[in-house]
Amino acid sequence: MLFLVGVLVVVVGVALSIALHEIGHLVPAKKFGVKVTQYMVGFGPTVWSRRRGETEYGIKAVPLGGYVRMIGMLPPRPGDKPGELRTLSTGRFSQMVDQARADSMEEVRPGDEHRVFYRLHPAKKIVIMLGGPVMNLLIAAVLLTAVITLYGLPQVAPKVGLLSQCVPTAAPTLQVPQPKCRPGDPVAPAKAAGLQAGDRIVSVDGRPVTTWDAVSAAIRDSKGRTMTWAVQRGNQKVDVSITPAVLERATYDDQGNAIAKDGKPVLASMGFAGITPGQELVKTPLTQAPKFVWDRTVDTASIIVRIPEKMAGVVQAAFGSDERDPNGPISVVGVGRIGGEVAALDIPADEGGNWLKIAQLILLIASLNLALFVFNLIPLLPLDGGHVAGALWEAIKKGWARVRNRPDPGFVDVAKGLPVAYAMSLVLITMSVLLIYADIVKPIKLFG
């Protein structure tokens, strides 16, 4: 039941995000006098609709998209009169472009000639087309800011998380840089010392510690020397003697990859206690929220830029034995599945309980909105960024003509980019089908 609740929350969040995205287009379009005939959330058969003035507002059966229909999105072909279309084109793409022009002008009625989209000043076109993505950015910024400032984010703390059961004695390899326990391996020092999950480490050998890095450095540099830790366990302060083991362990670069030489991992001697650090919620000051949102946006953009590369990994995982990349692309089905898994988690009240699950669902929806923002900025039709690119090119041409005292070059014929739009649509459909299939047969597992 909780799984279904999580899925439902994600579905509603996606639908609301799409609805607000389209409002981001609708409001400036009406403000600039463009005639908007439809505002729809979803695709497929219409479930509900109502006409207010000249616009039909409605909800369709599949809430995975939406659109605002503005008249005259595409200009007539140079030499044609508005509302008319010559039928001299040959070739499949030319006919498709002509049909798209005809569809664009179909709803232009007498008196609407100056209410078409293509006649707008380029700046107004840009405002309308950026309105949707910017709305997604605002949604993400509000949700992220609310979570990190009012609730907080889990951060590594100087406390005991999970305890290892043993000291692994197997030699590290490139394939297994961190060996696991085997029968007969000695008990891990932290477990032998009586440390417990949730213990907060206050000091090491009398020196106060406030970060996990300080604890980790003390363990690493111990060289088998017995240390005395003061830990806070509930309302008690307990002294614990711990003697880290000395192991040869793999070393890593700044990207977290094992360093190798001659096909073998580069090892270093270091202390081992058998502790995974715990986490605690830390609230972020409001003044730092813009930087946090910016960093998350940059992270999202870096993933989207690498989608072609990451899609190869998705295909290998879906049709082979490889595991899915947890930082790779997922479909709406995958997002819904993760939402369901979050809702179904059994989180103790002292570790956040239901509030933590709610925060994670909000962060999930915020991440989705960031993805919508960045993805829609790609300067290719049929995405919003394609229309923005056309408007920018029009502004440059008109500005250059004014500088040179040349006649106005007229509107940029974005219809010429429709073959690219059709190809892009085919790519997007193919990617969506592959991601949905992969999310069904080989889903990303974030919770074990």
Active site residues: 22
CA of 145: how far to CAs of 117, 289, 302, in Å? 35, 6, 21
Residue at token pair 């408007």: 391
Distance (Å, whole) CA 18 – CA 373: 11
Provide the residue count of the chain.
448
DSSP strand pairing (267-272 vs 200-204): unpaired
- Within 10 angstroms of residue 365's Cβ, the number of other Cβ atoms is 21
Token pair for residue 126? 């840009």
For CA atoms 262, 268, 269, 272, the dihedral sign is negative
Distance (Å, whole) CA 351 – CA 167: 28
The DSSP letter of residue 247 is E
Helix (H) or strand (E) holding 231: strand 227-233
Distance (Å, whole) CA 16 – CA 445: 26
Q: Do residues 35 and 26 make contact, with C-beta atoms less than 8 angstroms apart?
A: no
- Within 10 angstroms of residue 1's Cβ, the number of other Cβ atoms is 7
- Which residues lie below 8 Å from residue 198, measured CB to CB, with a gap of 6+? 159, 160, 233, 278
Q: Do residues 18 and 41 make contact, with C-beta atoms less than 8 angstroms apart?
A: yes
Distance (Å, whole) CA 402 – CA 31: 27
